[in-house]
Amino acid sequence: MEKLAIFDVDYTLTKRETLFEFYMFMLRKKPHLIIYMPKSFGSAILYALGIFGAAKAKNNFMAFIKRIHEDEIKKLVKEFYSTRFSKIFYVDAISTLKKLKAEGYKIYLISASAEFYLNELYNIKEVDKVIGTRFKFINGYYTGEITGENNKGEEKVKRLMEVLKEENIHVDFKNSYMYSDSLSDLPLFKLVGHPYLINSRKKDHNIEVLHWK
């Protein structure tokens, strides 16, 4: 049986929110995308106020990728990774990831962020699988809409189980690890024998907190 080391991405692997980082990168590449700023940031505010759900807020925020062809997106995300994304990792996160890989664990990155740019995390040679929120494209053009469900909470467990079944991987969850900055990942925390919260200040839990820099 395989043992997994599962990592969330935003504020677990990275010091900053990757979707915001991607948007700022895209603004520098395509300044006209600033027209989407009111809709994108308005959606983020409405989500923070509890007016929008996570999926609706994300659909609205991602409006800036509409009508961009997937071939162009692929080139852009490669540049995004090399110039911005790869610069915001926690050193402790990468060290832990590499240590567990050396000990024989499979490294899974499971995040609510967009899978089309998270796939650049395969540049980290120790990473075995990336699972993120998927977005629709029609005739090669992104619509800015989510395919399926927002990859958050219970959906992360569902997607993980689908991948394990498809790839016929049997897991020793009791001896597996899960790292996340958020209690929204409680479904994954409950799945493994070794759950860890990253840089959390919340007190209403019994999960060990690690302080990563």
Cβ neighbours of residue 111 closer than 8 Å, sequence gap 6 or more? 8, 9, 10, 18, 118, 131, 132, 133, 151
Residue type, 124: I
Q: What is the pLDDT of residue 133?
A: 95
Give first-to-last CA distance, the chain, whole Å.
Answer: 32
What is the tens place of the pLDDT at every residue in 153-170?
Answer: 999 999 999 999 999 999
Q: Sorting pLDDT into bands at 50, 70 and 90, what band is 45? A: confident
* % pLDDT > 70, the chain: 92
- Amino acid making up residue 142: Y
pTM for the complete prediction?
0.91
Helices (H) and strands (E) in the chain, counts: 8, 7
Domains of the chain, with CATH numbers? 4-210 (3.40.50.1000)
Question: In whole angstroms, what is the distance from residue 7 CA to residue 180 CA?
Answer: 6
| Token representation of residue 8 | 């969330």
Q: What is the pLDDT of residues 48-106, one digit of tens each?
A: 667 767 667 677 777 788 888 989 999 999 999 999 999 999 999 999 999 999 999 99
Q: Residue 9: what pLDDT?
A: 98
Bridge partners (DSSP) listed for residue 2: 171
Mean of pLDDT over the chain: 91
pLDDT band at 143 (very low <50, low <70, confident <90, very high): confident
Q: Name the residue with tokens 């948007």.
A: 23
